[in-house]
Amino acid sequence: MLNDRLLQQLADIVGADNVSASAVDRITHSFDATQRQCLPDVVVHPGNAEEISRIVRLANAQRIPLLPRGAGSGFTGGSLPVHGGIVLVLTRMNRILEIDVDNLIAVVQPGVVTGRLQKEVERLGLFYPPDPASKDFSTLGGNIAECAGGPRCVKYGVTRDYVLGLEVVTPTGEIIHTGGRTMKNVVGYDLTRLFVGSEGTLGVVTRIILRLLPKPEARKTMLVAFASIDGAAEAVSAVIRGKIIPTTLEFMDGSAIDCVRKAAPLDLPLDCRAALIIEVDGDQAVLDGQVDRILAIIQPLGMLETRVAATSEESEAIWKVRRSVSPSLRNLNPHKFNEDIVVPRSRVPEMIRALEAISNRYGVPIVNFGHAGDGNIHVNVMVDLAEAGMEDKVQSALHDIFRATVDLGGSVSGEHGIGTAKAAYIGMELDPATLAAMRTIKKALDPNNIMNPGKIFLEDQPEPGATAG
């Protein structure tokens, strides 16, 4: 597929230092945060949209797969070169072009790390809310491709809610501009929303216009321990019914608490089988009142203990409990299957019970924690794949988990995307006509299927418009 002539053409576009087909570079761009590895043929570090447009035209003419890549920290294989091809690494395009304090807008390149933008805008008293756990290393381009979420999304929404406009190089090499710099804009189709969450299958985002908010003055964190997951879930519903939307409403189930407790001493009552971390933010003057109201609402619901952080150190100590869940999982078993299902928040207790049943059915530990406030549960099936038949068991367990999720009106992915990891389950959630509509869009924008092929849709499904048999 790749010959010296193509390498030369790529070098002519981006400079020889930014093209490599060496074994080393191919290996270092063969993975993401899934445990799979697929070698690309060549790695390119482009510097701007024009270069990308020229590369895309080359690839399109020669039918070579193109893989846009940011930090390569996705959980579903979005940046894996499953069919080889050219990896387009966007880390050189890492400039914050503009922070407009009058219009509350930031204009950035796709390689800007999310946490860096947050730090810069916060210096100016502004706020970019989406906070995926990977925010200190994942890029805004990647966040847009996957429509990243995070704990703060309960109150503030997800990445798509902050994207006002995009510059995109389409799979045929056109540079297009969606949306703009205003909150209101109804001219033509809302292509911005189409590209957000498209997992790099519809084009390469080269410039991003983001909406900002004023930075909340203060925040207040509390940890509430419950004797059962039902108490915790009822507390979540009661708080929301009480017309309070906390900034974050994180939960850990009994299995997650056990895991943390095994790894290190944990300052929670022994009979605690679920815990909520609730954080509110806003003006200092209203925060204390809000905390009191939340406590009044959940007081009657069988809680064991409440801890309200008085200082930022105490708040940090509470968050440390939550953050210690993930690393502690490995003490359980070496292999982790990490899913990010989401159900309507009132169905969280039912979902947790379904997960317990599945865990018992297959004899595999399942640890659950995550964003109770928006029903987004991080389900971690922990196994040792060296055990005979475990691979099949895991697949069956995952199948049952997704089935239960969809049956409760939920979705198989809240924030990680489909990629390759969940392509097999997309048909559980989307009916054939809806899937066909999506594939028609893909086909229209990417007639030669060069842009991140093999993602979202199962490859053995017929192309739209193809005649069966």
Applying CB under 8 A, the residues found at the interface with other proteins are: 20, 22-25, 27-33, 35, 37, 45, 71-73, 89, 91-92, 94, 111, 113, 115, 134, 136-138, 326-327, 330, 336
Minimum distance of other proteins from residue 207's CB (angstroms): 18
- In whole angstroms, the minimum distance from the beta carbon of 174 to other proteins comes to 27
Q: How far is the CB of 211 from other proteins (least distance, A)?
A: 25
Q: Do 157 and 184 touch, CB atoms closer than 8 A?
A: no
- Of the two residues 130 and 231, which places its CB atom closer to other proteins in the complex? 130
* Shortest distance (Å) from residue 125 CB to other proteins: 17
| CB closer to other proteins out of 291 and 367 | 367
CB of 10 to other proteins, least distance (A): 17
Q: Which is nearer to other proteins, 138 or 255 (CB)?
A: 138
* CB nearer other proteins, residue 92 or residue 219: 92
Of the pair 136, 267, the CB lying nearest other proteins is at 136
Smallest distance, other proteins to C-beta of residue 353, A = 29
Nearest CA-CA partner of 249 in 150, 132, 133: 150
DSSP β-ladder status, 163-169 and 175-179? antiparallel
Closest alpha carbon to 229 in 324, 407, 369, 341: 369
CB closer to other proteins out of 63 and 330? 330
- CB atoms under 10 Å from CB of 226, counted, come to 26
- Strand order in 19-20's β-sheet? 19-20, 42-44, 86-89, 66-69
